[in-house]
């Protein structure tokens, strides 16, 4: 089955702006759009880029087929000229971006789209939808995995978000270090490791908790996770060990005072000799609740709602802004920087490059400059994603996951504080000379 077109996952104005700019030829001016965040969500120390891989895939499917064009024509959204232009549309420009999984800060140009205005403006809505959602989830997820330390987190939030957003959320969580997801579509589509426990409904289906546990262990083996909080937790733990023996994989506690119950359950398991049986806790956990359970004998965290809703910030609020365009349509017309006049919402003109300055391996400044070259130490942050219309930046998801771990480890340790604060490194703008002087 051919993958469906993504072309209508778009705001109408992209097409009417295109139509107006095509009519007078201005549409063919070269343009540079940048995706960036004006600020991080209130008090967050860093953001995490996610969605890049999904975006590259979606851009390849951004085509206008005959049915789509007749819909647009019938609704009088486009005229014949625009429809003809769209019929042969594919993005033929260049895209650079922060590599997926890397951290970002206010002003970081996490995506740079260069092409004609016509071809680049069309990608605004789709780019923002994907990056805003996935980066919001990954940014929240990263705080959770930081709070959990070495304890794994399993993702189980599908039911609390749109059914397709759930698949993307599982992917973003994996980039930020989650161990597994409950979402089967994410397992299939992205090769994520999947996992699951069982629900209270399962226990309630049987005439007793014991019969439910016997059925589950019989079918799924002793390494399964038994849910122990349907009736009496301590009694359930005894029943569980009675049935599964000391090889019982895990027990799950999904309600109540999780810290107290985890201690009780650990004591009960240990008293029964089930010292290897792990304790999974779940139930409205977020990064703060995870941190508060540090001293409790918890082996695995299950996180749902807080993950898929970005723990209070369901969108990264990234914007897609025209920062430069040529003064004419000839290929050699010079680029000029442009920006809306604004107080309080600074948009820096001009196409930018970015570098994370490091001192002794620790990030100190996000340098965003209109000059590509720079003699500062540090990592070049923009990588080529699309070159003359060809996707060159697709990579295995594991690369993004490993990159995130490295990128986060490179931040000052205060990045991992959960309390509100400023971005953990400052963003400095300018041409390289000025920046070098300031950074020295």
Q: Which of residues 235-264 bind a second copy (CB under 8 A)?
A: 255
Which range, of 142-150, 198-206, 350-358, 366-374, touches a second copy by CB under 8 A?
A: 198-206
Lookup: tokens for 325: 């365009």
Pairing between β-strand 225-227 and β-strand 379-380 as defined by DSSP bridges? unpaired
Given 291, 339, 383, 399, the residue binding a second copy (CB under 8 A) = 339
x/- string (CB under 8 A) for a second copy, residues 47-66?
-----------x--------
Which pair of tokens denotes residue 309? Answer: 């809703």
| Beta bridge pairs of residue 363 | 358
For the stretch 98-111, what's the b/e string if a residue is b when 16 or more beta carbons lie within 10 angstroms of its beta carbon? Answer: bbbbbbbbbbbbbb
The partner residues of 30 in beta bridges, in order of sequence, read 116
> Contact between 12 and a second copy (CB under 8 A)?
yes
Residues 87, 231, 384, 409: which binds a second copy (CB under 8 A)?
Answer: 231
Tell me which DSSP letter residue 194 carries.
B
Q: Does 321 bind a second copy (CB under 8 A)?
A: yes
Span from 11-19, 365-373, 382-390, 413-421 in contact with a second copy (CB under 8 A): 11-19
Min dist. Cβ of residue 416 to a second copy (A): 25
Segment 345-364, which members bind a second copy (CB under 8 A)? Answer: 345
166 forms part of the interface with a second copy (CB under 8 A): yes
By CB under 8 A, residue 315 contacts a second copy: yes
Helix ranges (DSSP H) in 250-317:
258-272, 287-292, 305-308
Choosing from 60, 61, 125, 394, the residue that interacts with a second copy (CB under 8 A) is 125
- Is position 24 an interface residue for a second copy (rule: CB under 8 A)? yes
Question: 276 near 243, Cβ under 8 Å?
Answer: no
**What's the min distance (Å) between Cβ of 155 and a second copy?**
10
Single out the residue of 108, 230, 239, 250 in contact with a second copy (rule: CB under 8 A). Answer: 230
For 190, 241, 271, 302, 322, the CA distances from 267, given in Å and listed in that order, are 39, 13, 6, 21, 61
Dihedrals phi, psi of 32, to nearest 5 degrees = -125, 120
- Is residue 88 near a second copy by the rule CB under 8 A? no
């Amino acid at each position: 089955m051919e993958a469906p077109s993504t072309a209508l996952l778009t705001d109408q104005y992209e097409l009417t702006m295109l139509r107006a700019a095509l009519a007078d030829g201005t549409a063919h001016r070269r343009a540079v759009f940048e995706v960036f965040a004006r600020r991080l969500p209130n008090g967050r120390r860093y953001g995490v880029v996610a969605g890049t891989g999904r975006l590259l895939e979606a851009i390849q499917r951004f085509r206008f087929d005959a049915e789509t064009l007749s819909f647009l024509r019938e609704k009088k959204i486009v005229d014949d000229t625009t429809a003809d232009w769209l019929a042969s549309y594919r993005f033929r420009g260049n895209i650079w971006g922060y590599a997926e999984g890397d951290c970002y800060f206010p002003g970081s140009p996490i995506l740079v789209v260069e092409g004609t205005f016509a071809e680049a403006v069309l990608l605004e809505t789709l780019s923002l939808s994907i990056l805003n959602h996935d980066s919001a989830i990954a940014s929240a997820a990263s705080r959770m995995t930081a709070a959990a330390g070495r304890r794994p987190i399993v993702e189980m939030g599908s039911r609390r978000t749109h059914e397709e957003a759930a698949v993307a959320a599982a992917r973003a969580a994996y980039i930020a270090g989650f161990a597994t997801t409950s979402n089967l579509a994410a397992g299939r589509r992205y090769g994520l490791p999947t996992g699951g426990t069982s629900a209270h409904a399962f226990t309630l289906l049987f005439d007793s908790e014991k019969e439910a546990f016997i059925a589950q262990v019989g079918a799924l083996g002793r390494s399964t996770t038994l849910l122990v909080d349907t009736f009496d937790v301590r009694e359930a733990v005894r029943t569980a060990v009675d049935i599964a023996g000391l090889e019982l994989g895990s027990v799950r506690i999904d309600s109540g005072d999780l810290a107290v119950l985890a201690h009780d359950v650990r004591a009960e398991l240990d008293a029964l000799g089930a010292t290897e049986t792990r304790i999974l806790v779940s139930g409205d956990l977020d990064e703060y609740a995870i941190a508060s359970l540090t001293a409790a004998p918890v082996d695995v965290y299950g996180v749902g709602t807080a993950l898929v809703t970005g723990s209070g910030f369901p969108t990264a609020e990234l914007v897609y802004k025209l920062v430069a365009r040529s003064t004419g349509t000839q290929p050699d017309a010079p680029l000029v920087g442009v920006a809306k006049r604004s107080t309080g919402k600074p948009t820096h003109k001009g196409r930018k490059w970015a570098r994370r300055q490091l001192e002794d391996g620790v990030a100190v400044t996000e340098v965003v400059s209109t000059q590509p070259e720079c003699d500062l130490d540090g990592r070049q942050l923009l990588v080529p994603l699309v070159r003359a219309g060809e996707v060159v930046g697709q990579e295995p998801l594991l690369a993004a996951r490993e990159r995130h771990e490295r990128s986060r480890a490179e931040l000052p340790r205060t990045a991992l504080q959960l309390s509100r604060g400023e971005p953990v490194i400052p963003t400095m703008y300018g041409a390289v000379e000025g920046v070098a002087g300031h950074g020295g």
